[in-house]
Chain A
């Protein structure tokens, strides 16, 4: 059996095994690479950084555990960055499975920013069903849908939300989304009609469809784990204390597996094409 036949008949499970190893080995050995933030990532950072301290920021976490590996690092970086700026945070989700992921962000605040107090500095509004319908309502009257926080406490009893009428009072919307409803819906039904500033973080799959909104309707976008890693680095550049915090570098350490796995994919594509053209040439010659 010659080499081309070997590759043609190669069981695909060997490819799976190679892919597994290319991801696992960098994880086991802690392989990491330096990241330098792109202009798009710096735009997102500026949108949060340039707000005056204590601004109101809506944190719309529209994703689920299935996309946690891709989006959780950027959600955590957003939370840390906002907390360093002492912004007031209003968490909500349009995804039924988003609740526990908001709780993960709140755990970061509890663990790393003990000065942050629930009801005064941040609030968890939880989930409401209705997709873009929810957005349409909360831009006009938040308490029509969110009369209580996630624990059932009336928003009128929390200092942060007592005088809150609608999300048009927010200085910035930060949306982390894995699809529908998500960044597109926040742009269509809140940011564009009411001229609100919004930055987003999305999965790689949905990123290309959101680029046309930049910069007019969407100030900036973190696309996939690469942008999450760059954003982590951008925030570390501003707040070097985060360098000591290993949990704040989740995206950065995921780039090791990315590099090796992408090199494997490129190698396989090149090998496949070389074999194809080699066989075609041989076929023409014979």
Chain B
């Protein structure tokens, strides 16, 4: 066995023994819920309840029970987190398994959500409201009339699916052309109004700010930085004039502004990644292993 294999085996054995000891002594990874009835809005509708997660310290209270489905979910989430993190040591089959499961589950989730929210709610409920109300969406308002204009998106969807056909796949380009054209039109207007014109407006600032207390140095410096930053960055991206002399100097200043912006972006990214890692580790230590209790959810247990 390779050195890496020995390390993996030793880690697995130690982790297995630790989990067995934890399970035998203090308990861990259990999720408790309480059923809450959901108020029925319409007469004749069947009543139902929603299982709401509660703190483990409430075990023993009336109506509080262990949810085995959520407990299995917590264990799977913990084990898959470890599988993904194992990639930091090196590529391995556990990582590949977690990656494949993630891709598969995501695809399935998107498909189901897309069907119910896009196809049923946004399309079929407009084309055949009575049928959808009596079969899939009992809460669909009575005021919902049939809107035959939605036959057009239905037709476009069918045309798009022609890509899968061995013959006539080119027909899908019509639907695609419509989507691209419509999206470009929507975005063009939005960007022109909100991004282009308003941003120009926001950059036209007084370089000397005089407030009620007299000259405001801080606000003046801020405005000056914005104006100089915008102009120098625009100069850097202006290639019709050779970047020499004054233009070269302003352009170099633009590079500095860009570099500072990228640096700020990188710093924020690092902060974000650390936050994600902290959340996962807290999940492992708190929700799964029960070795810390930062939110006092198991106080007194």
Cα separation A188 to B279 with both chains bound (whole Å): 31
**Interface of chain B, helix or strand or loop or mixed?**
helix
Whether A246 and B268, one on each chain, are in contact in the complex, defined by CB atoms closer than 8 angstroms, is: no
The residues in A between 235 and 281 inclusive whose CB is less than 8 angstroms from any CB of B are: 246-247, 250, 253-254, 257-258, 261-262, 265
Instruction: Sample 10 A-B pairs with CB under 8 A, ordered by A number.
Output: A27-B285, A69-B275, A148-B140, A148-B141, A188-B195, A192-B193, A208-B261, A208-B265, A224-B271, A257-B277
List of A residues within 8 angstroms of B36 by Cβ: 110
1/0 per position for B189-209, CB-CB distance to A under 8 A? 011011100110110000000
Q: For the complex formed, measure the closest distance between the CB of A62 and the CB atoms of chain B, giving whole angstroms.
A: 15
CB of B97 within 8 Å of the partner chain: no
Whether B139 and A154, one on each chain, are in contact in the complex, defined by CB atoms closer than 8 angstroms, is: yes
Contact partner, B140, options A136, A147, A188, Cβ 8 Å: A147
The residues in A between 65 and 111 inclusive whose CB is less than 8 angstroms from any CB of B are: 66-70, 72, 96-97, 99, 107, 110
Cα separation A223 to B109 with both chains bound (whole Å): 29
Q: For the complex formed, measure the closest distance between the CB of A197 and the CB atoms of chain B, giving whole angstroms.
A: 15
The residues in B between 182 and 233 inclusive whose CB is less than 8 angstroms from any CB of A are: 186-187, 190-191, 193-195, 198-199, 201-202
Q: Given contacts A30-B292, A216-B202, is CB(A136)–CB(B278) below 8 Å?
A: no
Whether B272 and A224, one on each chain, are in contact in the complex, defined by CB atoms closer than 8 angstroms, is: yes
Determine, out of B60-68, B111-119, B160-168, the stretch whose residues face the partner at the interface.
B111-119
Whether A23 and B122, one on each chain, are in contact in the complex, defined by CB atoms closer than 8 angstroms, is: no
Q: Given contacts A147-B125, A188-B195, A204-B268, is CB(A69)–CB(B279) below 8 Å?
A: yes
Number of interface residues of B (CB under 8 A): 60
Q: For the complex formed, measure the closest distance between the CB of B179 and the CB atoms of chain A, giving whole angstroms.
A: 11
Q: For the complex formed, measure the closest distance between the CB of B72 and the CB atoms of chain A, giving whole angstroms.
A: 17
Q: Given contacts A152-B139, A204-B268, A212-B199, is CB(A110)–CB(B52) below 8 Å?
A: yes
Q: For the complex formed, measure the closest distance between the CB of B265 and the CB atoms of chain A, giving whole angstroms.
A: 5
Whether B281 and A24, one on each chain, are in contact in the complex, defined by CB atoms closer than 8 angstroms, is: yes
Whether A152 and B141, one on each chain, are in contact in the complex, defined by CB atoms closer than 8 angstroms, is: no
Whether B279 and A68, one on each chain, are in contact in the complex, defined by CB atoms closer than 8 angstroms, is: yes
Cα separation A62 to B201 with both chains bound (whole Å): 28
Cα separation A101 to B265 with both chains bound (whole Å): 26
CB of B38 within 8 Å of the partner chain: yes
1/0 per position for A182-212, CB-CB distance to B under 8 A? 0000011100110000000001110110001
CB of B138 within 8 Å of the partner chain: yes
1/0 per position for A130-154, CB-CB distance to B under 8 A? 1011001000000101011101111
Whether A258 and B275, one on each chain, are in contact in the complex, defined by CB atoms closer than 8 angstroms, is: yes
CB of A226 within 8 Å of the partner chain: yes
CB of A16 within 8 Å of the partner chain: yes
Q: For the complex formed, measure the closest distance between the CB of B7 and the CB atoms of chain A, giving whole angstroms.
A: 11
